Amino acid sequence: MVAGNSHFGNIKDLVMRCVILNISEWEAFKESFTLIKVPAKKILLKKGQVAHHLYFVNHGILRLYYINSRGEDITAFFFKEKLFAGSYESFILQKPSLQQIEALEDTELLSISFDKLQELYKEIPKINILTRVITEQRFITGQEIFSSFILKTAEERYVLFSEKHPDLLLRVPLQYVASFLGMTAVSLSRIRRRLIKSSLIS
């Protein structure tokens, strides 16, 4: 689907914070993206497939998750509005993904292919600044999750999540939040009841 100017507001804010593009560079950047709309529950990437695309979320939520050898579903990340999303390791290396991606809501995305991105790097080398910053942010987010598993209790992780992402608690099924926080849905419910009782959260 061809994306109009109205679909590029959020990505433009992000790009312009990282790098100064002139009009023709911005046009070339825009034209590298395709607008796609995916209905809730649609699986965009299955494990074992190569992630050929990177997405920018205009509306909706993508969930990145693992299916382990026991068939259990473990959420790795929620990508909501204004974030670049994807199985980034698979995308960078162009190798089969360990993770899956699904839409949790009707979702509108701007999609860029791996090949298009490599063309952009050649055409507009400054795009390396943008992807450096985006990759730094993905690294930092990954580190924060890893550190929270080492340094915090399950309850502390939940309190932090509810402070940082109160919207996600309303938009995402609780069992996905539970596995993202490293606990069962039953443990999460118990923690929520305890916190509500002690008025720590509403």
Q: Which of residues 65-84 bind a copy of itself (CB under 8 A)?
A: 66, 68-69, 74, 76
Which run of H or of E encompasses 167? helix 166-171
Q: Is residue 46 at the binding interface for a copy of itself, with CB under 8 A as the rule?
A: no
Distance of alpha carbon 181 from alpha carbon 53, whole angstroms: 27
- For residue 150 the two structure tokens come to 């080492």
Nearest to 84 by CA among 96, 92, 93: 92
Task: Please list, in sequence order, all residues whose beta carbon lies within 8 angstroms of the beta carbon of residue 14, skipping any fewer than 6 positions away.
Answer: 56, 82
Q: Report the residue from 9, 128, 174, 184 that binds a copy of itself according to the rule CB under 8 A.
A: 128
Q: Is residue 52 at the binding interface for a copy of itself, with CB under 8 A as the rule?
A: no
Q: Is residue 136 at the binding interface for a copy of itself, with CB under 8 A as the rule?
A: yes
Structural Rg of the chain based on CA atoms: 18
Residue ranges with strand state E in the chain:
34-38, 43-45, 53-59, 62-67, 73-79, 84-85, 100-103, 107-113
Q: Is residue 116 at the binding interface for a copy of itself, with CB under 8 A as the rule?
A: no
Q: Report the residue from 146, 174, 184, 196 that binds a copy of itself according to the rule CB under 8 A.
A: 146
Q: Report the residue from 35, 36, 50, 129 that binds a copy of itself according to the rule CB under 8 A.
A: 129
Distance of closest approach, residue 119 Cβ to a copy of itself, in angstroms? 15
**Binding residues for a copy of itself, per CB under 8 A?**
66, 68-69, 74, 76, 88-89, 92-93, 98-99, 121, 125-126, 128-129, 131-132, 135-136, 138-140, 142-147, 150-151
